[in-house]
Every structure is written in C-alpha cells, then in structure tokens.
Structure 1
Amino acid sequence: MNVSATLLVQELKLLRKGRGISATRLGQRVGPALRQVCQISDGEDVAEIRRKVTDRLHALIAPLPADLNTVVLAAMGLHEQARNPFYQERVHWAARKLNRDDRTIRRRIDEGIEQVAELAFAPDPAARPGHPSRSWHTESLRVTLSLDQPVPEAFEFRRIIADADDITELDLALTLTASAGQTGSVGYDDLQVDVFHGGMLVGRAMESSDRVRLTLKLPAPLRRGQRHDITLRFRAVLRYPHYVCVPRHPVDSFELHVRFARPVPWEVRRLDKAFQEDAKNPSVIGDVLSPDASGEVYTEFHDLEPGFAYGVRWCPLDLADAITSAPAGHLARNEAVDEGAVPAVEGRGQAAR
C-alpha cells in the first residue's frame, strides 16, 4: 500500500487521543503509514510495536523547535511530565508549561504533527538540519548551583538524544576560568565529579590549562532517537563570579538555579547569547535577576546556539564599593575585580557535542 505524509498526519491525530502511546490496544491504532515509518512487521506484539513507535517518534520530534517539541511529546503521551490519561488534560499541561491558552496549544500540536510527517518522508532524515552533531545532542539541561556550601556544588541533570546508532560514550567537559591575576593551571584536584545516575566515569584529561575533559561510559549503547538521562555532581573551588553554559552543539533547553550564600550579591545579571570572553567583562550587562527570600535566582534559556554563553554573572557585596567608586573606563578591564575577593566557577555546561 502506498502511504503518504497526509495519511501519517491522520494516523498521528488518531494516536494522540486517549492515552496516546500508552493505549491498551495500540496495535489497532497504528495504521499502515506508521507501520511503514516505524518498520513494524506483521505479527509483532504490542510491546514491540510500542517500543518501535516510541523510538521513531522521539527521533522525528527531536529536531522540532522547542515549543513544538514540547507540545507534540505531550500530545502523544511521550513527555514524562504529561502522562495524563486524557488528551485534553495533556493539552492543559502544555498550555500551563508554555503559558498559552488551550486553543493555541492545539494549533501548535497540529503544526508539529505536520512537520513530523514531513520529516518522516524526507529523502534522508539523518541529514535533516537542526542538529549538526551526528552522534548526540542535549534535549534538556538543568543545573542547580549551590554557593552556600563549604565547597560550591553544581548538580547537573541532563537528557540527551542519540543522533546515531551505537552511542556508547559521552564526551563532557568543564572549564574553571581563572580570575584576573590568578596564576597556575587547573589540576585534577580542583574539580571533583560524582556520577549519580546514567553511566560510569572512565576518563579524565586536561584539554587546556583550565579545561577538564570527562568521558562517561553509558550502561548500554543507544539507538538513534533514543533518550538517556544522566545526573552528575561537580564540586570546585570558586574562581570567578559567573556560571555559563557554552555548548559546542545545540541545546534545546537550559534551566539554571543558583543559591547564593549570605549576604546575597550586590547584583546578579542574566547572560543570554553572550560571547564567551564577554561573560567575564563587567561592562557587558544583561537583565537584572533579583534573589528571592531564600537567596536564589532562576532563569531558563531555549535553543542555545553553539559557541555562545548562557547563564548568570554576579557581583559580591564586598566588591560593590570598589566597583561603584572605580574611575571611568576601569570596569571594562578584568583587573578591576579584586583577585582576592570571593571567586567563582565557570561551567561550560559540559558542552553538548
């Protein structure tokens, strides 16, 4: 039977009803277009059909823009935070998530489904634009940075998507930027790494005087389109007052929580698509973030572009007087910040490759 993108759109709109991918009689709702796209053979049981449809849809939805990615995953019952038993409930969840009304979400779901169907019948899905990495990319990155600990800690929760088959290792990295006037290179003892979930650390190497490369071995090889979650903890002596993610390849979303020690900083600035070196430059400013009653700030970014910095920079209270009284033009120089003041950590977001 000849199938088309139009037929696949119809089948996906049928699949999203009720429990979506978790429907009990899934085999009866998977039509000829889905069977061809997902390479489902006659006689396969429901569990295998569910696995194949799930993996293929994840791969087709992954390159969509962030908003369409979220709403289509929710519509199909594939989003881990939207496993509600009814389609309308999943629409409500997506509306709250994106701060839009239900009607807008339904339109975006239809738009996303049409794009999924187009990608499914593209001549070479592996070569589609969106993620230049042919190995893996980051779907979501959540970092919680605690600066009120004896040694600052950053917990990283990352979900990656395999863009090729047989992905067995992830290359991760973290840069500790030296403050002005600081001498000496970063050593292994300056960075402690603990793997809480998702793999085993099998390699560490210095890529530069301040950049540590980490190799994480996965529990099992990933197939293209398959998702995998990892949880890491980084502990490091603070060296400079900012924390940024500088991805090598696209990152769909990045959420950052920072908990400051008391007293909270004099000023906290959001850095959005800044040049990496500009992240350290006090003359480059972004939106002001105000710590809450717990001394915390939160910000998020979407569709991060490789090579740019996304995160926050802060100015401790004990530097406020020096900065406000500095001569004109002095703040543009990194030397304006007293090297003996509270330093901080720069995280390159364990840059997605």
Structure 2
Amino acid sequence: MDVSTADLVSELKGLRKGRGLFAVQLEKNVGPALRAAFGISGESGAAELRRTLSERLLPLIDSLPGDLRISLLAAFGLTEQARHPFYIDRVKWAASTLKRDARTVRRRIDDGIARLAELAVDGTAPDRPASHPSPHWHTEVLRVALTLEQPVPEVFEFRRVVADADDLTELDLALTLTAAGAPGRPMPDSDLQVDVFYGGSLVSRQMQSSDRVGLSLRLPSPLRKGERHDIALRFRARFHHPHYVCVPRHPCDLFDLHVRFPQPPPAWVGRLERVFQDDVRDASARGTPIEADGVGEIHEQFRHLTPGFAYGVRWQESVADATDT
C-alpha cells in the first residue's frame, strides 16, 4: 500500500486522542496508513500495537528539535511525566516544560506530526539501536545487586556512563517505587534512602510523580565527549510490589542483574523484557519463567535496552499467587 503524507498526518493526529498510545482500545485509532507505514499486521492486539508504535515513533521523535520532541512525547503519552488521561492535560504539561502557552504547543505538535509523517513516508527514519548515544550521555554497563534478605531491601548499583557531548557535569537519574495504598499517594522520604559510594555527589532529589524520584548526581569534573566514568550507589527501598525493573531514561548497552531472595525463595520468578512500565504492576505480565539457584539467587542480563521500557524480574511468593495470575 502506498502511504500518502496527508493520510499519515490525519491518523497521527487521531492517535493523540484520549490517552494517546495508552488508550484502552488503541486498535480503533490505528488506521491503514499507520499500519502500512510501520509494518503493523491486522491481527495485532493493543499491547503489540503499543509496543510497535513506540519502537517506530521514538527514533523519529528523537531526531527532531527539542521543542518538537517534548511536544510530541507529551501528545502521544510517551513520557511518563505526561501520561495523563486527557490530551489537554498533556498539552499543559508540555507548555509548562517548554515555558510556552498551550496554543504554541499545539502548533508545535502539528508541526512535529507533519515532520514525522514526512520521515516515515520517505523512509528516512533513523534506525536507532538501543545503544545509540543520547544527546548527553548513555550507560555502557549497569550492574545491580539486589538483596531481599534484609529488613529493608538493599540495591547496589555500579554504572559506567559515556558522555555523548562535551562538558557533561551532571547525570539525571531516576528511580520509581510503586507506593502502596491509593494511587497518586506521595511516596514518603523514608521509603527510599540513597548513598553515593563513589563517582559524584548527590546535589538534588525531587519527586517527578507520586512514585518517581529524580536524582541529580554532580560529577567530580566535566566529561568530554566519549569519556567514560564509573559511579556506585546504594539504595535502601521498601518494596510494595513484587518486582524490580530498570526503566532507562537514556540508552543502556548492558543491564546485569543479580537478585538474592530470602529462603525459601519465591514459588515463581519471571523475567520481564521490553515491557511497558505501567504493565509491570499488572499480575498478568508474568514474563518468562526462571528459577532461583540453590542459594536463592537469580542472575539475568539484558542488552540494548530501549528507553522507556521496563527490564527486570517479578516474583510470586506462594503457589496460590502464582497460579491465580
């Protein structure tokens, strides 16, 4: 099927309605032009549609200027901070972020959609592997050791970053802890403690949502483009849900995860790979079954992580819990 730019623009504008890519009946908003341009089969369900569209749209969006990129991420609900149920609220978030009025942001969204359609139709979309450099930095190796044997679980994180621009002075990190109780309840500070072992100084910590904490780590000295730097952090965190995942904000080449469970280990453990973060909390997102070894440990590796997707493990404490999902 030959796809016209006008048809694709029309369908992309329809895709931003409601919850954007997180619409419950997403398939109703995906027409023939989108399916043809992005190679989507007619039998794809909502989850597969969401995954495919995200994989195809994100490289296109990342290739655009900053104001268009932020506007489009908000319009389609592709950034967690703007994952609001109504389009008008996502526009307001983008307007606040860009320090522009909503009318200007709507024009930016229309401009960005027109550019997306041109790129898709011309076949010039950048085919970005997960290790493609971000505008500022990316993770070469992330090694995590999580022990659940302590009264408060501890996470040791060893990360090697690579500067993708000159004069890199800070790393913008983030950690999400799904809070117990009512959705939207602010996470208490006591639920998360952060210690820097080496590689920088923690200069700010702020809530980006009810369960996502933004962390800024100042480096000992500015990095030049291509330079590598190692950091080590320890997190003490109260887990309210039985999963641990990495949802990278920047590309990550390798995520190496060790988890040590208390004895006896969980009845069931599953590997999660390229899962939407919101879906991780759903008990139906069980992943691929894996087994803990004789001392209650699992070791999993993930390569070429795509920003915005979740990678890690979830577990069920009892046989009854495991068979009910």
Query: Do they superpose with TM above 0.5?
Result: yes
C-alpha distance in structure 2 between counterparts of 1:222 and 1:152, whole Å = 33
C-alpha distance in structure 1 between counterparts of 2:298 and 2:249, whole Å = 25
Kindly provide the amino acid, as one letter, of the partner of residue 197 in structure 1: Y
C-alpha distance in structure 1 between counterparts of 2:128 and 2:274, whole Å = 21
Residue aligning to 2:261: 260
Residue aligning to 2:186: 185
What is the CA distance between 1:293 and its match in structure 2? 1.1
Fraction of identical pairs, as percent:
58
1:271 paired with 2:255, answer: no
Q: 1:228 to 1:128 in 2, by over 3 A?
A: farther
C-alpha distance in structure 2 between counterparts of 1:194 and 1:283, whole Å = 34
Kindly provide the amino acid, as one letter, of the partner of residue 208 in structure 1: S
C-alpha distance in structure 2 between counterparts of 1:287 and 1:139, whole Å = 25
What is the CA distance between 1:181 and its match in structure 2? 5.2
C-alpha distance in structure 2 between counterparts of 1:181 and 1:287, whole Å = 29
Residue aligning to 2:171: 170
Residue aligning to 2:226: 225
- The count of aligned residue pairs is 198
SS for the counterpart of 1:277 is: helix
SS for the counterpart of 1:288 is: strand
For residues 58-78 of structure 1, what are the alpha-carbon distances to aligned partners after superposition, in whole Å with 9 as ceiling and x for unaligned?
xxxxxxxxxxxxxxxxxxxxx
1:135 paired with 2:136, answer: yes
SS for the counterpart of 2:138 is: strand
Kindly provide the amino acid, as one letter, of the partner of residue 153 in structure 1: E
For residues 55-112 of structure 1, what are the alpha-carbon distances to aligned partners after superposition, in whole Å with 9 as ceiling and x for unaligned?
xxxxxxxxxxxxxxxxxxxxxxxxxxxxxxxxxxxxxxxxxxxxxxxxxxxxxxxxxx
What is the CA distance between 1:178 and its match in structure 2? 2.6
Q: 1:279 to 1:205 in 2, by over 3 A?
A: same
What is the CA distance between 1:286 and its match in structure 2? 2.0
What is the CA distance between 1:128 and its match in structure 2? 11
Residue aligning to 1:321: 320
Q: 1:128 to 1:270 in 2, by over 3 A?
A: closer
Residue aligning to 1:280: 281
Kindly provide the amino acid, as one letter, of the partner of residue 300 in structure 2: T
> Structure 1: which 4+ aligned runs deviate by more than 6 Å?
none
Residue aligning to 2:210: 209
* Residues 1-353 of structure 1 mapped to structure 2, 5 A cutoff: 131=132, 133-179=134-180, 184-317=185-318, 320-322=319-321, 324=323, 326=324, 331=325
What is the CA distance between 1:289 and its match in structure 2? 1.3
What is the CA distance between 1:218 and its match in structure 2? 0.4
What is the CA distance between 1:163 and its match in structure 2? 0.3
C-alpha distance in structure 2 between counterparts of 1:285 and 1:176, whole Å = 19
What is the CA distance between 1:288 and its match in structure 2? 1.3
Q: 1:180 to 1:190 in 2, by over 3 A?
A: closer
State whether residues 146 and 156 of structure 2, in contact with CA within 8 Å, keep that contact through their aligned partners in structure 1.
Answer: yes
Residue aligning to 1:12: none
SS for the counterpart of 1:303 is: strand
For residues 31-52 of structure 1, what are the alpha-carbon distances to aligned partners after superposition, in whole Å with 9 as ceiling and x for unaligned?
xxxxxxxxxxxxxxxxxxxxxx
SS for the counterpart of 2:146 is: strand
Gaps of at least 5 residues in structure 1 are 1-126, 332-353
C-alpha distance in structure 1 between counterparts of 2:128 and 2:270, whole Å = 33
What is the CA distance between 1:322 and its match in structure 2? 4.9
C-alpha distance in structure 2 between counterparts of 1:294 and 1:277, whole Å = 31
C-alpha distance in structure 1 between counterparts of 2:292 and 2:270, whole Å = 11
C-alpha distance in structure 2 between counterparts of 1:139 and 1:227, whole Å = 9
C-alpha distance in structure 2 between counterparts of 1:259 and 1:182, whole Å = 29
Which stretch shifts more, 277-286 or 253-262?
277-286
C-alpha distance in structure 1 between counterparts of 2:321 and 2:279, whole Å = 20
SS for the counterpart of 1:134 is: coil
Which stretch shifts more, 136-145 or 171-180?
171-180
SS for the counterpart of 2:289 is: coil
For residues 258-296 of structure 1, what are the alpha-carbon distances to aligned partners after superposition, in whole Å with 9 as ceiling and x for unaligned?
000122101000001111122122222322111111100
For residues 239-265 of structure 1, what are the alpha-carbon distances to aligned partners after superposition, in whole Å with 9 as ceiling and x for unaligned?
110001111221100010000012210
What is the CA distance between 1:187 and its match in structure 2? 2.2
Q: Which has the higher contact order (CA 8 A, sep 6+)?
A: 1
Gaps of at least 5 residues in structure 2 are 1-125
What is the CA distance between 1:304 and its match in structure 2? 0.5
Using the size of structure 1 for normalisation, the TM-score is 0.53
Kindly provide the amino acid, as one letter, of the partner of residue 154 in structure 2: E
SS for the counterpart of 2:135 is: coil
What is the CA distance between 1:305 and its match in structure 2? 0.8
C-alpha distance in structure 1 between counterparts of 2:268 and 2:212, whole Å = 27
SS for the counterpart of 1:177 is: coil
